[in-house]
C-alpha cells in the first residue's frame, strides 16, 4: 500500500464510516474487512500526527532558541 497523506487517510476513514451508516444490515465478512482497512488508516494517521507533532516541537524549540540568543 502506498503511503497516504493525513488528509487522504482521514477521508478514507470517513468513507468507511459512511459505508457502515448506509447499511441496513451489515454483511459480517465485508464489515470485518472494512474494520481491518480502517485500522490500517488509523495507525497510519497516528504515525503521521506524531511526525507532525515532532515537527511543530522542533519549530517551537528553534523559535525559542533564537529568541534566547537575541
Percent of the chain as helix, strand, coil, to the nearest 5: 85, 0, 15
Reported as half-sphere exposure (CB side, CA atoms, 13 A), residue 45 has a value of 15
22-54 confidence digits (pLDDT tens): 999 999 999 999 999 999 999 999 999 999 999
Give CA separation, 55 vs 14, 18, 40, 49, in Å: 26, 32, 23, 10
Rounded Cα–Cα distance for residues 59 and 66 (Å): 11
**Domain ranges, ordered by start, for the chain:** 6-69
Rounded Cα–Cα distance for residues 4 and 49 (Å): 12
Of the pLDDT bands very low, low, confident and very high (cuts 50, 70, 90), residue 68 is very low
Amino acid at each position: 500500500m502506498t503511503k497516504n497523506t493525513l488528509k487522504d487517510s482521514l477521508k478514507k476513514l470517513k468513507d468507511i464510516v459512511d459505508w457502515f451508516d448506509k447499511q441496513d444490515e451489515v454483511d459480517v465478512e465485508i464489515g470485518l474487512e472494512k474494520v481491518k482497512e480502517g485500522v490500517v488508516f488509523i495507525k497510519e494517521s497516528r504515525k503521521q500526527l506524531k511526525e507532525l507533532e515532532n515537527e511543530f516541537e522542533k519549530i517551537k524549540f528553534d523559535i525559542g532558541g533564537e529568541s534566547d540568543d537575541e
